Each structure stands twice: as structure tokens, then as C-alpha cells.
Amino acid sequence: MASTSVLGTCHHDCPDTCGWVATVEDGIAVKLRGNAEHTYSQGELCPKVNRFIDRVYSPDRILTPLIKSSGGFEAASWDDALALVAERWHATIDTYGGEAIALWWDAGTQGLLQESSLDKRLFAKMGTSRKTGGVCGVAAGWGAVVTDGTGKGADPANVVHSDLVVLWATNTRLTNRHLWPFVEKARANGATIVVIDPLRTITAESADWFIQPRPGTDVALMLAMMHVLIRDDHLDHDYIERYTTGFDQLAAHVAECTPEWAGAICGLDPAEIERLAAAYGQAKAAMLRTLIGAEHHSGGAMFFRALGCLPLLTGSWREPGGGLARSVGSWADSMIDFGAFDAPHLAPGPRRGINMNHLGRMLNDPDLDPPIKSVMAWNGNPVVTQPNANAWRTGLARDDVFVVVSEQFMTDTAAFADVIFPATTQLEQVDVVPSWGHLYVGWNEPAIAPQGGAVPNTELWRRLARAMGYTEPELFESDRDLLASAMPDVDLAELRRRGFMRLPLPDDHLPYAEGGFGGVDGRAEFVSTAFAADGVPALPTFTPPIEGPNSDLAERFPLALLSPKQHTRFLNSSYTHLPKHGPAEGGPFCEIHADDAAARGIAEGDPVRVYNDRGSLDLPARLSERVRPGVVAVPFGWWSADHAGQGGVNVLTNDGLTDWGGGVAYSETLVEVAAAG
Ligand code: SF4
């Protein structure tokens, strides 16, 4: 029996980007384990991906093109499916213009090639609308850039050198599990671990100190910390003088932002805020760690803008283990040319941008010109993952909207498709996977042949380009040539042989130890010169949640809804439907504080209706101390079938945009809960 080991890299929307080793016998993958050589993930996969082979060989895989008919879906040949899509797209372009075709994709498959590469060229050639905005990362990135000018943060692995670790709005043990050993190492060296989160997560349970502010009030807490740092002179005056601008204005701005002021907003004891600020100011190497959860508020970008001011005041950027560690994805531009796949010269003219978070709304907009007549979706399941999901459902259900989906399984979104193309899994496709959680890039060698008629996304784009009758050579470049063009200075053969490679950055990567920020004169900006010119608050500023307790909606919907990732076997909406994943997690529920439950006559396990003007869900109640009074939580990731056809938690959530950058405020949602049945 021929047995080989094939090195690969996990592609999921997860910061850990683990290296793996697939064991293949006679062309069949029989084992998948973490790559013990991988410097960051160190040989461990997670409970989701440990069973990835079950997913690859699942009997529910879509392995042939499917065309919707009056009786459901029928298997079709690739030629027939491509011809149908090309015919409909040409007709749409001829009648309405290319912008009547809208695109949606996300990070369900991360990787240079399979996330977004040749699609950029195909859809430029077609003149479709462009996808803009982002569910995750966009608002955070913009907020960080406003303060530091680059958006580039500290290496999270440096947390081992910290004496204070503040995990702010990030459930590290669940969603960034491979960082947790680094955090524990810091604790073993004497560090204090603080978790700040509106939900008592499993990470909060493991912390030395848990602080639970009201949702969406973090910026007020940060401003009060700045107030204390300045008042008590926990400052690195030399650092501030050399590398920042606007300190005097900031000091005047936060003079009124006392712990008492913030305590009333955040629902915290002012003494606790004093203690937190003092601990932060007195630490030698305090590491602030956050990821993407906090950006899902109307003030989501401001969260990152304000957080970035704290290490500037204390000068903790000088220290290994200091600074602010958020997504490190943009450091990959030291190895990868992310513009290599762009081909604007192919486009017939300027192309309309559609924020992916508002595509659901726009599908229902009778005044949109041109109207959306077709949607192409890949690498995700927007009917489950996008907020205001009922807008997606009604929009995709329209008879005059031609929906094309590339998928591995019959997801809630694929069920709305007119044509489904079968997509390969990561074991069946080549890719290079940059990470947003560490400083290594991974190679993914295909371990097995594509199953059935499934193809990688890059091959789908080539086939569609051919079916559309296009001939430009850029549309048909091979995967290996695409990688070479994006990574011209990288020895790809060596990357393939080793399976991963560190970005060309120093081992003791301290990006701002001696300044080097991206603002005016290479400084970080307490006062944003660009924002001042645009009429946006130039200083970090707390703005109450738009859909919050002070809004008119709160009279009818007084409870703040959180929709956390909290299942160890789910990855966003992936795996939910697989037998060893969804059923093992038990089913969705609504967590509610005992005080709120008692006020509504609700007991543990009672059926309740969670509702607002966007939708409703009938769920069992779970009385919980994990949420504060005034806050409820319904876990994210379940499909419609798991909610008895009602849709997932996103039928309730807010699709209002964030302050800058086009992110979405789905954690800023008000609901009411009532006994049902
Ligand atoms: S989902 Fe994340 S933790 Fe799990 S194997 Fe993939 S990269 Fe690693």
C-alpha cells in the first residue's frame, strides 16, 4: 500500500492558520494531524478540523453541478451548467449592464488563490459591481490606521514576555486557541491575565481578573484609563515627545473622562477602572490583545483607534511583550504582492461598489439603478453569517434574481441558488495561506485528487471565463504562475518543501520601539489630522451605541443581544450540519440573566420568543450568569434547520454600518424576550 505524507495548511477563517500533515494511502486521505514542526501551531489542530476527513468524504458533499428545477435540484454536466450561467449573465449585461451582477465572498476559504484571485480579473472583464466593505477586519483596520498610520500591530507570540496581558473582547481559548499556551507561559512567568468582555466566556473563566462592561461601551473605559494614566503620570514622556502628536489636546480631551463618568456608562465600579488603569500604567510590558469581535458596533473602528492610544501613552511599544496585538495579516505584504491579481485594465469602465453587508438590503431596493439581477456567492454562507438575514432570504428568493453559488454542501445560501458549482476542499487544491494570527505563511499541497466533479475556485473562474467567450490570457493563468507573480521573491519550492515560512521580519519584531509610525512625520496621532480635515472627531471619542439603551427602540426592545461564537465544533457556519458537530453541541438557546427572566416569568428551559422588527426566533431559555442583566445571548453558527426553519440568530441582528471602513454593527442589536407557547 503506497502511503505518503503531504504538508498543508488550514484555510479556515481563524487566526491560527495551523500547519497540517495529511496521510494518503492509495489516493485516499486516511489521517490528518497537526504539523509538529510548525512553529506556532506546534502539531495541534482543533476539534473542528481534527475530523476534517469526515467533511471531505461526507456523503452530503456536492460533487456535480446542480441546476434548480421545479422539483428541486438536478445534477447537470459542467458544460450545461456553464452554458446556462453564461447565457444568463450575457443577457443581464446586455439588458442592465454588468453592474447588475453582484458578488459576495468571504473568508470561508482563506488563501491567496482560492479566496480571491482570478475572480478579480473575470469580474473586472464582465464589469460587475465590486464587493466593498467587510464583515470582519475592515473597520478594525481603519480604526487602527487612524492612530498608528499603518494598522500593523505587535506579534501576538510576544505575549510570553508580558507582565500584564489584557485580552479585550476576544475569546482566546475558543477562537485563537493556539495563542493560549503563550498566554499561559506569560502567566507562569508572573503575568496577570485580564479579560474584558461583555460575556463571561471560557477565556474569562480562565483569567485572573474579569471585567464585564456593557456591550459597546469599551471606548468610554479606554478614555477613563487615559484619564488616569495622565492624571497619575503613568506616562513615558520621552516616547510621547519623540513619536506622537497631539498629546496636549488628548490630555485636555480626557480631563472630564473620569472613572466615575465611564463607570456610569459601562456599568462598572469606578474603583475597578482605577485599578485597571493603574495596573496598566505600572506594568513594564503590558500587552493589549484584541481581534475582531469589538468592531461589530457602530463605533467599531473607534474601539481600535482609542485602544491604540494606550500603549502610546505608556511607551510599552518599547518592550518585548508590550504594545497592541491585533490582526497581523497586513505584515504579509513583506512577502506577498496583494495587488498582483488585480486587472483594472480589463474592466469596461468604472464599477459600482456594493458593501457586502448591505447586499441583502439592496436586493430588495426597488429604486436601485441598475437593479441587482444576479448574485455570485462563494467561500461562505451569507444567509447564515450576514446580519439582517431575512433581507437576504427575501432578496435571494426573488424570481428575477439569478443566483450562482460555489459550494461543498447544500447550505442555507446554496438552497437559494439557480446553479451550484461543486467546490473542492483544502485537501484537493493548492494554495498559499497567509495568517492574521501569526507571522508565518503556509503552503497547502493538494493531498488527494478533486472529489467527483468538484474544482478549485481558480478553475471555476477559468471555466466561466471560457464559457463567457473571453480570450484574454490573464483570465487563464495557472495556479503556480499566479503564486509566482504574487510572491516573486519567495522560493516557492522551499516553501512547499517545508510547509511554512516566517515572514522576512526580525525574530524580536518590535515595530514601534523607536517610532516608525505611519502618521505625519512618522508619528502616531492622538489627534488625527485627516479626520480633523474631514469633520470626523479628531480625538478618540465615545459615542453611545446607535441601537442601544438610549435609542428609541429600547422602549420596545430593551435587551442587548450578543451572538457569540461559542461552540468548539463550529467554525462560523461551517461544520454545523455534520453529524459529529452540530448534534454534539446540543442546539441553539437563548441565555438570559435570572433577573430579566424573572421579570418576564421565564424559568430555565422554558420556550421563549426572541424578537425585534427584523425577525424572531423561538428557543429554549437558559438562565445564565454569563450575561449581565439587560443582555441576552444566542449562539452564532446554527443553520435554519437547527432553528426549526426560522433562520439563525442573524435574522435578528443589525446590518447598520460601522463608523468608518464599511464594517457592520451586528453586535449592536436590541431585542425583547417573551415566554412562548
Ligand atoms: S480552524 Fe483554526 S485552530 Fe482549527 S485547525 Fe484551522 S487554523 Fe487551526
Q: Where are the domains of the chain?
A: 66-134+334-425+450-488, 138-326+512-534, 552-675
Task: Give the per-residue pLDDT at 507.
Answer: 86
48 within ligand 1 shell (Cβ under 6 A): yes
Task: Give the per-residue pLDDT at 585.
Answer: 81
Task: Give the per-residue pLDDT at 219.
Answer: 98
Alpha carbon of 304 to ligand 1 centroid (Å): 25
CA–CA gap between residue 39 and residue 36 (Å, rounded):
8
Q: What is the pTM of this model?
A: 0.96
Q: Closest ligand 1 atom, CA of 48?
A: 4
Beta bridge partners of 377: 104, 405
Strands (E), 369-479: 374-378, 402-407, 419-422, 431-433, 440-444
17 within ligand 1 shell (Cβ under 6 A): yes
Beta bridge partners of 607: 620
Spans of the chain below 50 pLDDT: none
The answer to whether 676 touches 619, Cβ cutoff 8 Å, is no
DSSP 8-state symbol, 323: E
CA–CA gap between residue 161 and residue 286 (Å, rounded):
9
10 within ligand 1 shell (Cβ under 6 A): yes
401 within ligand 1 shell (Cβ under 6 A): no
Contacts for 322 with CB less than 8 Å, ≥ 6 apart: 154, 162, 284, 285, 286, 287, 311, 314, 316
Alpha carbon of 352 to ligand 1 centroid (Å): 35
Report residue 505 as a C-alpha cell. 521580519
CA–CA gap between residue 378 and residue 556 (Å, rounded):
37
Alpha carbon of 20 to ligand 1 centroid (Å): 10
Report residue 323 as a C-alpha cell. 504594545
The answer to whether 541 touches 147, Cβ cutoff 8 Å, is no
Q: Closest ligand 1 atom, CA of 52?
A: 5
The candidate with the shortest Cα–Cα distance to 670, out of 546, 561, 551, is 561
CA–CA gap between residue 224 and residue 437 (Å, rounded):
29
CATH code of the region 66-134+334-425+450-488: 3.40.50.740
628 within ligand 1 shell (Cβ under 6 A): no
Alpha carbon of 12 to ligand 1 centroid (Å): 6
266 within ligand 1 shell (Cβ under 6 A): no
CA–CA gap between residue 220 and residue 222 (Å, rounded):
5
CA–CA gap between residue 646 and residue 640 (Å, rounded):
6
Question: What distance lies between CA 329 and its chain's CA centroid?
Answer: 12
46 within ligand 1 shell (Cβ under 6 A): yes
Q: Is 321 left (phi over 0), alpha (psi -120 to 50) or beta?
A: left
Task: Return the axis-axis angle of helices 259-266 and 218-231, rounded to nearest 10°.
Answer: 170
Q: Cα-atom radius of gyration of the chain, to the nearest Å?
A: 25
- Domain 552-675: top CATH class: mainly beta
438 within ligand 1 shell (Cβ under 6 A): no
Specify the CATH superfamily of domain 138-326+512-534.
Answer: Dimethylsulfoxide Reductase, domain 2 (3.40.228.10)
Alpha carbon of 554 to ligand 1 centroid (Å): 38
